[in-house]
Structure 1
């Protein structure tokens, strides 16, 4: 029977979350920026691949439905959830441009675009952020410790102190939940 090293996994998890704690002012500033976007009629557009796509979908749902407190729906879309768009675009064009195409069609200047990528190298997410920057959106990246194209191209970057995908994703969820708590406090 295989055994996992729980002590090592917990230590890596704690190190990743400690890097989130060190970003508390950045999280507060981002919450304020998202509130500003909503009050200006904007929305939050989320994107990611694989586990990060699931996290993007999760967070868009937390905003649209509710996190903990009852409040009005906050406009949020996970760009990776429409299978018809994903498959049609990937078939007719290219998977690398699947998010940039949606940003071109949906994003407005007052929007916040949230990119989740543990590696920071996902070509479709990079292209999506490039399109969001061109549109004048406020761009946010959640990624891992390594320098990457995404870590160098946004207004706000959260680089989790880890190289392990699972630990990075756990920290991304923590950051996103903290954002939702801040939005609940403001809008509930």
Structure 2
């Protein structure tokens, strides 16, 4: 039965009890991503459904900004490439939906972030395989372990929760922690913080 009202919040609280390792992973990824993008690399991201929206959210934070102003960084959401998506699925097997784009846009050393609440989406798993074959760093946001995406990816952030909605909610938290770590590694907002300290 789908948890409603306060039961929904209880599911989130229960999942938060096991979320601490995910916090550390997300922060570490943000800091490593800063080095990749500062060095001229790029981030590719993809997912299906709600995870597609999360992937687009991540690239928007990089191309735009998270909290403080800073230069834009290269982030491409493969789920948002509608003409490419429809052309690929029209001419190739569905598993190639993201993998073909990874092969087109990815370069060795780039980061590929794949988001799947189940970790079982064939097109996402195939994208992970293609990314690794072409020298990309493959990071997976998934739900409970074990799952095929976590098995294939170079690294995984797995949220232990029974419901898709809870996994997605905590993926968003992890995404924001990644962005905060990214900005912190770049020194974004450091001058503003120093100014506040002086005024105090």
Q: TM-score, normalised by structure 2?
A: 0.87
Which residue in the other structure is 2:19 paired with?
A: 20
The CA deviation string for residues 13-43 of structure 1, in whole angstroms up to 9 with x for no partner, is 1222333323333223212221121122111
Which residue in the other structure is 1:110 paired with?
A: 109
Partner-residue secondary structure (3-state), 2:146: coil
Shift of 1:183: 1.7
Partner-residue secondary structure (3-state), 2:176: helix
Question: 1:15, 1:161 within 8 Å by CA — same for their partners in 2?
Answer: no
Partner-residue secondary structure (3-state), 1:19: coil
Instruction: Give runs of aligned pairs for residues 11-160 of structure 1, distance below 5 A.
Output: 11-160=10-159
Shift of 1:144: 0.6
Partner-residue secondary structure (3-state), 1:100: helix
Shift of 1:5: 3.4
Cα distance in 2 between the residues matched to 1:9 and 1:56: 24
How many pairs align? 186
Which residue in the other structure is 2:161 paired with?
A: 162
Larger radius of gyration: 2
Cα distance in 1 between the residues matched to 2:3 and 2:14: 18
- Worse-matched range after superposition: 147-156 or 130-139: 147-156
Cα distance in 2 between the residues matched to 1:71 and 1:154: 30
Cα distance in 2 between the residues matched to 1:152 and 1:137: 16
Cα distance in 1 between the residues matched to 2:15 and 2:42: 28
Question: 1:119, 1:146 within 8 Å by CA — same for their partners in 2?
Answer: no
Question: 1:47, 1:99 within 8 Å by CA — same for their partners in 2?
Answer: yes
Unaligned runs of 5+ in 1: none
- Worse-matched range after superposition: 121-130 or 28-37: 28-37
- Worse-matched range after superposition: 31-40 or 114-123: 31-40
Shift of 1:4: 6.0
Cα distance in 1 between the residues matched to 2:178 and 2:28: 10
Cα distance in 1 between the residues matched to 2:60 and 2:168: 17
Aligned-pair Cα RMSD in Å? 1.6
Partner-residue secondary structure (3-state), 2:84: helix
Cα distance in 2 between the residues matched to 1:185 and 1:130: 31
Question: 1:16, 1:161 within 8 Å by CA — same for their partners in 2?
Answer: yes
